[in-house]
Structure 1
Amino acid sequence: MKKLIFIFVLLSLFSCGDYIDKPKNLIDKDMMAEIIADLAINDQAIFVYPDKNMEAGTRAVLKSHNVKPDDFVDSFKYYVIKEEMDGIANDAQEKLLKKDPKAEKYVKDKQKENGPVTPLVR
């Protein structure tokens, strides 16, 4: 009986390859970084226009990249579970800094002022 239970436990462990299946309309990592960079810019618009609907801006960003909201959410979940979102977020940050040289100077000045930023440890 113990051998039978042991076999079932082993079969159940090896039968599950991934926690999540790859979405059929998976957005590639580079496009995901571009979208996240644009969403970060859109997110900062709330400080300029505090009484506006930011949901419309989010829809506009996704539409400009020809991405459906469901595909974005599925891809986002997939990359988070696969632990690839940190690299994508770093790529998005680099894209933001390339778009605005003043932002890069501001970030470097803040780093000199406050010292290096330590990464978050989980």
Structure 2
Amino acid sequence: LMPPPLIVANPDVVTVDGSQLVPMPGSLAAVYGGAGGRVVLMGKPAALIYSAAGAALGLGPGELLAVGDSLEHDIAGAAAAGIDSLLIAGGIHAGELLPGSTHGSVDGSPPSGAQQGDAFAGDEVAVDMAAL
């Protein structure tokens, strides 16, 4: 007997709440999927969310801009859908992108990729802040 699928409308693993990162539905999806359950993602980065937004507005991919703070969901999803994107550097990746930032910190020190539960943990990212 197969367990029912878990439908996840927001696959984000963490989000920023004040000055700390808190778990999101993607955390549960990872556990459920890891235990052998079938997970159906309905939110970003699934292409359906972007095509539905464009259709609702009567706009094509070249006329949309996706804005988000998750490289794994917001930015990767927009790229896969052919939509331009804007990364909010002060979100869940602040510890990696903004030197000295404690945004999303558990103990007041810059958060690590492991604290963020981020698929891009360990990747080096160089950001030219003057270009922003």
* Rg larger for: 1
Higher relative contact order (CA 8 A, sep 6+): 1
TM-score scaled by structure 1? 0.28
More helix by share: 1
